[in-house]
Amino acid sequence: APVAPPDLSKCHLATDAANGEQGYCCPPYSTADIKPFVPPTDGILRRRRPAHKLNRKQIEDFERGIQLMKELPATDPWNYYQQATIHCTYCNGAFDQVGFPDVLLQIHGSWLFAPWHRYYVYFWERILGKLLNDPTFAIPYWSWDTPEGMFMPGMYLDQSSPLYNDNRNHNHYTALLDYDYTFGAPNPTPQQYEEVKIRNLKKIENMFTETIGAPSLFLGGPLSAGQEPKDIAGALENLHGLLHQWTGPEAIPRHDMGNLYTAARDTMFFGHHANVDRLWDIYRNLRGNKVEFNSPDWLDASFIFYDENRQVVNCKIRDCLTSENLGYTYTTERQAWKDNKR
């Protein structure tokens, strides 16, 4: 059977995997009249753009939305930190799976990873659009798969901006991202930039070519109701983890981005995950738009989210198989890894 949404009334303490500390990340409501999710029908296609290409006005709109989210009452489900907490809820064991009291609900490490995060970012974007009163509002993505995007995008680094978060690795503020990064590794020197960029692009290329025939290698392995999280992450999730480590501080517990317990408190999380989502879109296209898994345990797995109309909705994976079905798309950028030959 497919993994089902949690029983809201049974939320309990969650655990920070880095230090074993327990914390509260339950939603601010414990009952809800849950409606089935219906994909948008307004015909609007929101365009997500690369963070490093946003113009002043686009950055200001985004900042204003985040500011408004931060100013909401602390218990409002739209509040910035409530939104961030959702990630902890589904990641650090705030719920057991319905019917399996000893099995924690976990959306990392399996084929649930990409669809759950797609919905999560989707609702975050739509809530921002509501606050901004702009039904076309789209969030930026951190295009770390293109050479220009292999730096922390400048808009997140302006200390006076609501996008800023100090809990990051300050040594990386102007450093080139190296996909081979390990904690403590020195930054590439400018003389090494070309080589590192090419190596990064090669990794992206390999990620696609090695998994093209086997979606479980890209999106993660199967997980059905009642199964313990098995840690069968796909290549996409694995590579994505490197960016969490590189962005967050090195010292344990690595809050914010370096620890799933807190990662979504950093606005960069959403730029990062929009790009992860975009890479799923690209993978889908490379495969001629074929659905990755036909198993009902994937297609009918479902999650609940608090939506942009203040309604709790039950979302099935089958409704988020393409970004277009959710009314958004990504600007077409040169896929640098494709012509990365030397």
Note the residues at the interface with ligand C2O (CB under 6 A).
87, 91, 108, 117, 240, 244, 260, 263, 273
Q: How far is the CB of 118 from ligand C2O (least distance, A)?
A: 11
Measure the CA–CA gap between 82 and 70, rounded to whole angstroms.
10
| Nearest CB to ligand C2O, comparing residues 197 and 240 | 240
Q: How far is the CB of 31 from ligand C2O (least distance, A)?
A: 26
Q: How far is the CB of 82 from ligand C2O (least distance, A)?
A: 16
| Nearest CB to ligand C2O, comparing residues 118 and 273 | 273
Beta strand 14-15 with 22-23 is antiparallel
* DSSP bridge partners of 22: 15
Q: How far is the CB of 107 from ligand C2O (least distance, A)?
A: 7
Q: How far is the CB of 127 from ligand C2O (least distance, A)?
A: 18
| Nearest CB to ligand C2O, comparing residues 176 and 260 | 260
| Nearest CB to ligand C2O, comparing residues 188 and 229 | 229
| Nearest CB to ligand C2O, comparing residues 188 and 269 | 269
Q: How far is the CB of 108 from ligand C2O (least distance, A)?
A: 6
| Nearest CB to ligand C2O, comparing residues 120 and 337 | 120
Q: How far is the CB of 197 from ligand C2O (least distance, A)?
A: 23
Structure tokens given for 113: 């990873």
Residue 182: HSE in the Cβ half-sphere, 13 Å Cα cutoff: 0
| Nearest CB to ligand C2O, comparing residues 11 and 264 | 264
Q: Which residues, 6 or more positions from 295, have their beta carbon under 8 angstroms from its beta carbon?
A: 222
